[in-house]
Structure 1
Amino acid sequence: MNPIVIIPARMAATRLPGKPLADIGGVPMIVRVLRQAQAAGVGPVAVAAGDSEIVAAVEAAGGRAILTDPDLPSGSDRILAALAE
């Protein structure tokens, strides 16, 4: 089995809107999460993003992002949509 890591992310969080792009020490939070997942060395890492802003941030950091339908109801649905790409 060859594991992969897919991180679901969307801008429309109800408790903290825009959370994936929240600045933490000059780096967007989603990029920090991406780097930690890559450092774990489990396998290839991608972000399943519901918004083009997230895709842009991840790609600017050299990561792989897959744009998914922003209306998907859950992170699990976002991951499944990314796997279908």
Structure 2
Amino acid sequence: MFQGASIVQQTGVVLLAALTAIWAVTFLHVQRRRAAEPATGNSPSLGSLPVQSGPPRAESVELTPDERAAFAGLIRQFGRGRS
């Protein structure tokens, strides 16, 4: 096959080509099967991800006055490092 290649290299090329062909056939089979399934409004586009029911909710936490003061101190401390 290849004049300057060892038997290990030749076997690797053949194995890689065979695996690529198997992957391509499997991929096409999955795509055709997915296209043949009836499309429903509640089925996700990717089977492994859940459907998001709406926009994400904003999360917030009430801070105590001491926590607010500590946070303000951190902000001032980080602000001093910048010019």
TM-score between the two structures when normalised by the length of structure 2: 0.21
Higher relative CO (Cα under 8 Å, sequence separation at least 6) belongs to 1
Bigger proportion of residues as strand:
1
Bigger proportion of residues as helix:
2
- Whose radius of gyration is greater, 1 or 2? 2
TM-score between the two structures when normalised by the length of structure 1: 0.20
